[in-house]
Amino acid sequence: MAEAIQKTPLLEVRGLKQYFYVNRNFTVRAVDGVDFVIYPGETYGLVGESGSGKSTIGRSLIRLYEPTAGRILFDGMDISGRMSKGVQKRLRTEMQMIFQDPMACLNPRKKVEDIIALGLDIHHIGGSRQQRRETVKSMLDKVGLAPEHANRYPHQFSGGQRQRVGIARALVMNPKLIIADECISALDVSIQAQVVNLMKDLQQETGTAYLFIAHDLSMVKYLSDRIGVLHLGHMVETGTRNEIFENPVHPYTKSLLSAIPHPNPRTEKKRVAQGYDCVAEGVDYNAGAQRHLGGTHYVLATEEELAKWTGC
């Protein structure tokens, strides 16, 4: 997929900040000056520990949160400030989200047919009742569910099946970008593989771009073309999958990669996980700048930190 990346970004994020004001003395800086781009048809993986700001970025992009500062350009539209009705309608149809909890994001009182067709009903693009029903059946078939599942309720499905319903609900709008917010973390390992393979097949079929937010680095490596590593609201390193996994520079990236378990028990016994504490190591993210390492590989560092981490 990476070789098919176009030069014009589908999504461009510059200096995104998302602060939450708790009281006059305390502000949570969930996202603090993040830059990245996503090209049409590619998958951009966003990784980091819990609380690093990954889900907040996704919710800010789709405007569930009002961004504190920064600029967001989506398919040539500025969606970072107040939007016109036309821009808002395009955003609501062309950008969709798959949420983390496949049960909490589905209305337990609605049948699957109504859940999947909700976007069509809101934007009045579903056509007649028969066309709507055929569209829903087509989506169910795409995500590996049977047509009779349309008349069931969410509690009658397994976790993996519910997540497929969530994917169908996003795909029915024919979006250009899907934000997958840890959509596999609540699933069993075997079901995770099924859902990820489904997403990959659907991407090849529809050409949809993904912002894939996850903890599992091995899954991110399998699915993503480019990867951004997030820590404490800062994008500390970004690059292609090979640049990140074969040549990690930032110590936080190295610590994440060292935590990946090995399937070989003999190798796993010898694996040593690296720790990282930015305060103890004296790393100030606000003092650093994005340093180009070659290709699409960038790291957030001062000149002294970069020399220390690269050994030159």
Tell me the C-alpha distance between 175 and 37, whole Å. 17
DSSP string, 186-212: TS-HHHHHHHHHHHHHHHHHH--EEEE
The model's pLDDT over 113-128, given as tens digits with 9 standing for 90+, comes to 999 998 888 888 878 8
pLDDT of residue 2: 44
pLDDT value, residue 100? 81
DSSP secondary structure, 245-261, as one string: HHS--SHHHHHHHHTSP
Enter the DSSP assignment of 157: S
The Cα–Cα gap between 268 and 261 comes to: 6
Give tens-digit pLDDT for 84-113: 888 998 999 899 998 888 788 889 999 999
In tens, the pLDDT along 128-183 reads 889 989 999 988 988 888 989 999 999 998 888 888 898 889 888 889 999 998 88
Task: Identify the pLDDT of residue 18.
Answer: 95
What pLDDT is recorded for position 198?
A: 84
Look at residue 35 in the predicted model and tell me its pLDDT: 93
Average pLDDT taken over every residue of the chain: 88
pLDDT digits (tens, 9 = 90+) for 30-72: 999 999 999 999 999 999 888 889 999 999 999 999 999 999 9
Distance of CA 137 to the CA centre of its chain: 27
* Segments making up each domain of the chain, as ranges: 2-246
pLDDT at residue 3, as a whole number: 44
| pLDDT confidence tier of residue 1, bands split at 50, 70 and 90 | very low
Q: Which of 211, 183, 272 is nearest to 11 (CA)?
A: 211
Q: How many residues can be counted in the chain?
A: 312
Q: Which pLDDT score is estimated for 312?
A: 63
24 pLDDT band, cuts 50/70/90, is confident
pLDDT at 50: 87
Tens of pLDDT, residues 131-145: 989 999 988 988 888
Q: What is 2-246's CATH topology?
A: Rossmann fold (3.40.50)
Residue 297 has a pLDDT of 94
